Amino acid sequence: MIWPFKPRYRKQIARIEVTGAIAGDTRKRLLEALKTVEERKFPALLLRIDSPGGTVGDSQEIYSALKRLGEKIKIVASFGNISASGGVYIGMGSHHIVANPGTITGSIGVIIRGNNLEGLLEKVGVSFQVIKSGPYKDILAFDRQLTEPEQQILQDLIDSSYQQFVETVAEARKLTVEKVKTFADGRVFTGQQALELGLVDRLGTEEDARRWTAELAGLDPEKTECCTLEKQKPFLNRVLGSSLDTSGLSAYKNLLEFEISTSGLPLWLYRP
């Protein structure tokens, strides 16, 4: 028997928010949300991105999941206040991109950072004895300068990651690699500039993006609602509401944890 009525999800647009630095927790949450979108058979997805970017591998996994989902449904990305570096990369997994005229975007590039505390350690009389299996096992150690061979190894790593980024943007935006490299030098630009460069399709708000998504899915933009898929809040937060709001402290905590956990890793991250 064929049920004559469509499930309510098929008359709604799925909406997923990407906020803050992209790392393991974000990847896990987004992959679960994208699976839910597929299982509930939403006809389209509105992806709201407000992120400075993040780790390379996590951004690539989210992008790949979006590409797979995009074979079945329409996906529109809406760039918010900032969608840079890894935020741009995952946006490439959508069919179309909408940005505000003043959105901060771009920062297509790769960065790796380490800390050199050699001078400080010498002043306090601290040194380390290191036994290693090879000359590069302690590359980016914080108690000494990089050697020239180590610098070259890391530069090759950065160049490889950068090339992957550029090729993905070129393929998604139907641009040549040479064209992308003219603006993929780490600079940031506005949504207006991104439109002129071919990085986004339209200028507009999230509401404009929602209406476009509905139209692409064959739905009425005046009546179609969004169903936001988000991580469920802890029980006490749901019961007591804003009285337990620690979002500010949580943001600083998450940023600190991100900085510590990604030290020495190549990042697709905008650092103002």
Tokens of 229: 């898929």
Residues labelled as active-site residues: 85, 137
CB 34 within 8 A of CB 71: no
Tokens of 236: 């006490």
CB 158 within 8 A of CB 185: no
Q: Which amino acid is at 221?
A: P
Closest CA to 106 of 200, 203, 17: 200
Strands (E), the chain: 13-19, 44-51, 53-55, 74-84, 96-99, 104-106, 188-190, 202-203, 226-228, 267-269
Residues 6+ apart with CB under 8 A from 118: 143, 144, 145
Task: State how beta strands 96-99 and 188-190 pair.
Answer: unpaired
Other residues' Cβ atoms within 10 Å of the Cβ of residue 56? 23
CB 81 within 8 A of CB 50: yes
Distance CA 249, CA 242 (A): 14
